[in-house]
A and B are shown apart, each in its own frame.
Chain A
């Protein structure tokens, strides 16, 4: 390695940067490097484009369709109209435009998916890191609880939770988040154990670092890639779970979501009576968003994998 020769030098920082400026520059460098590598994953880029499209749709929905689109009473069209110039995706059983409903429903689906995934991964990461760091009885208890949650069918548990609690978005988020963390916890614990066996952990201990120092400075940054990738993957399953709950009638009845639309369609007998336009748009939207998050998750995973990132 000839990293000493001037040609291969990283840009020499300005004469006297403060530690904070150094940290900022480092973070910028990391972000740039991340993006440069992410760019090489074509599927990841496609997923990102799809996500960007749906995010834009959801964020601009108040301007494009407005909350009135949900209103059953002033529905603009007749019930169950076929797709036409006025209603590109047709109308639902109340005469509302399906296009507008799908656009508006994106807000709920994405929000719930995001929040539930973050909640689930956060619980999983905390349990995983602490169980990996503190061995002994704490780890044993934590992992037995994890195992218990792992073998419980997630959906059944979520349905039970959603049934006993009040029917609102918060409930849905909580029901999904609290039931889906065990896989993350297992993964994070395994990674934590791997990190803890590295010599730099011993070096940090010998320097006088305590539990908090080791978990926050060494373990967390090293499990972060895994957590990030896990989050993106978890979002798609959270969106699916939300759709499932809504489809089963356990969602918030006052809001429109993609799962809720599908349930409406089923109740209206769209499956048997051939009203395909009622079913297809929300179904495709769910599939595309879930797929897009999965693609992004895979790309993020392969970019952040420490083995690929370091071994050069």
Chain B
């Protein structure tokens, strides 16, 4: 870990107005068989500025996928609100349709997200047809395919998804999102089902689109390496809340939250002794009291939190929702106590 945290990347000039913003967002699903409701997203503030790539990192079941879908209006929120380009998201069908022209979704499994009976041309032109694109459909499709790296585009028009490789399919999906010239792309594990050598190519494509088109992106992933590869900011999510957020360089090279530390420590290349947390994240229908991570927290378990005098707070006192700003923020009593002491002394 030699890299010193560099200045914020060129793509994020000082605090422009956020393109997409979530405020106190909650998403709950009714529990089955009388169980308490599943609080998949449990209070999240998140901003994505124009041209910014934000990585949303967490384990499966932490609510990151639900959060991404609720930002696109695909999952109804139970409270809180989503704001896009300054105005709150309107769930009326017509308004939603015009929103979906400006914000696009790229799914994990490119084989599943293409209809096997549609040709590449049809798949890419689908968005244009839905929104009754007034211009020349063919030029737009060819342009999007070329931008997604499928050249010459004409050669791919009549192919079916099963005639393409995994990487090419994901490029088609990305082209289908690009063709409407969106301002934001939400990518849910965009490379998780791709081969290792193809992965870098697709990530490079996302980076290039940001540079060329000023596209903002929210990349949902469980892969911290991906965040290091392409993201400006990273938000680490645990059990429906963001527990640490900030610039990638800071969060990933100098993690502060015990959970982020543990996640980074178990990566194959990580220095130091890996902190393997036992067990798995609790059920989101039974969120623990106090800090939601306390049951698995290695800092609390080792007694370090007690030494800092916050062990009780960890178990009983709930932490506030982290703000959506750019600075590094951590939702942890122990880190706060340490920071307070450092500030005082």
Instruction: Assess whether B258 is interfacial by the CB under 8 Å rule.
Output: no
Also in contact, A312 and B155, with CB within 8 A (given A207-B130, A207-B176, A222-B115): no
Q: How far is the CA of A222 from the CA of B131 in the complex (A)?
A: 23
B165 in contact with A210 (CB, 8 Å): no
Instruction: Assess whether A166 is interfacial by the CB under 8 Å rule.
Output: no
Contact with B along A222-257 (1 / 0, CB 8 A): 100000000000000000000000000000000000
Contact with A along B109-150 (1 / 0, CB 8 A): 100111111110100011100110000011000000000000
Output the residue of B101, B115, B125, B168 with the most chain A CB within 10 A. Answer: B115
A19 in contact with B159 (CB, 8 Å): no
Instruction: Assess whether A213 is interfacial by the CB under 8 Å rule.
Output: yes
Query: In the complex, which residue of chain A has the Cβ closest to the Cβ of B121?
Result: A22
Instruction: Assess whether A86 is interfacial by the CB under 8 Å rule.
Output: no
Instruction: Assess whether B338 is interfacial by the CB under 8 Å rule.
Output: no
Contact with B along A282-311 (1 / 0, CB 8 A): 000000000000000000000000100111
A208 in contact with B112 (CB, 8 Å): no
A25 in contact with B97 (CB, 8 Å): no
A208 in contact with B125 (CB, 8 Å): no
Also in contact, A200 and B127, with CB within 8 A (given A3-B163, A312-B162): no
B115 in contact with A218 (CB, 8 Å): yes
Also in contact, A206 and B97, with CB within 8 A (given A19-B137, A306-B116): no
Q: How far is the CA of A164 from the CA of B158 in the complex (A)?
A: 54
The minimal Cβ–Cβ distance linking B293 to chain A, given in whole angstroms, is 31
Instruction: Assess whether A29 is interfacial by the CB under 8 Å rule.
Output: yes
Contact with B along A195-225 (1 / 0, CB 8 A): 0001110111111111001000110011000
Output the residue of A10, A25, A203 with the most chain B CB within 10 A. Answer: A203
B107 in contact with A207 (CB, 8 Å): no
A12 in contact with B162 (CB, 8 Å): no
Also in contact, A3 and B168, with CB within 8 A (given A207-B130, A208-B127): yes
B138 in contact with A25 (CB, 8 Å): no
Chain A interface residue bracket vs B: 35 or more
Output the residue of B96, B125, B126 with the most chain A CB within 10 A. Answer: B126
A208 in contact with B97 (CB, 8 Å): yes
Contact of B125 among A12, A15, A19, A218 (CB under 8 A): A19
- Total B residues in contact with A, Cβ cutoff 8 Å: 43
Instruction: Assess whether B157 is interfacial by the CB under 8 Å rule.
Output: yes
On chain A, the residues within 8 Å of B109 by CB distance are 199
Instruction: Assess whether A26 is interfacial by the CB under 8 Å rule.
Output: yes
A22 in contact with B158 (CB, 8 Å): yes
A209 in contact with B126 (CB, 8 Å): yes
Query: In the complex, which residue of chain B has the Cβ closest to the Cβ of A18?
Result: B138
On chain A, the residues within 8 Å of B126 by CB distance are 204, 207, 209, 217
Instruction: Assess whether A7 is interfacial by the CB under 8 Å rule.
Output: no
Instruction: Assess whether A151 is interfacial by the CB under 8 Å rule.
Output: no
On chain A, the residues within 8 Å of B173 by CB distance are 203
Contact of A210 among B93, B113, B121, B157 (CB under 8 A): B93
On chain A, the residues within 8 Å of B308 by CB distance are none
B107 in contact with A203 (CB, 8 Å): yes
Contact of B131 among A202, A208, A218 (CB under 8 A): A208
Q: How far is the CA of A222 from the CA of B112 in the complex (A)?
A: 14
Instruction: Assess whether B254 is interfacial by the CB under 8 Å rule.
Output: no
Contact of B101 among A1, A198, A208, A311 (CB under 8 A): A208
On chain A, the residues within 8 Å of B163 by CB distance are 3, 10
Contact with A along B146-175 (1 / 0, CB 8 A): 000000001101111011110010000100
* Chain A residues within 8 Å of B, Cβ to Cβ: 1, 3-4, 9-10, 12-13, 15-16, 18-19, 22, 25-26, 29, 198-200, 202-210, 213, 217-218, 221-222, 306, 309-312
The 4 lowest CB-CB distance pairs between A and B, nearest first, are A206-B105, A208-B100, A199-B112, A1-B165
A-B contact sample (18 more), CB < 8 A, given A199-B108, A306-B116: A10-B158, A15-B154, A22-B157, A26-B119, A26-B158, A199-B109, A202-B107, A202-B113, A203-B105, A206-B72, A206-B104, A207-B127, A209-B126, A209-B130, A213-B130, A217-B115, A217-B126, A221-B117
Can you offer 30 A-B residue contacts whose CB atoms are under 8 A?
A1-B164, A1-B165, A4-B168, A9-B155, A10-B155, A10-B163, A12-B155, A13-B154, A18-B138, A19-B125, A26-B158, A198-B112, A199-B112, A199-B113, A200-B113, A200-B115, A202-B74, A202-B105, A203-B173, A203-B176, A206-B100, A207-B126, A207-B180, A208-B97, A217-B115, A217-B126, A221-B118, A222-B115, A222-B116, A309-B116
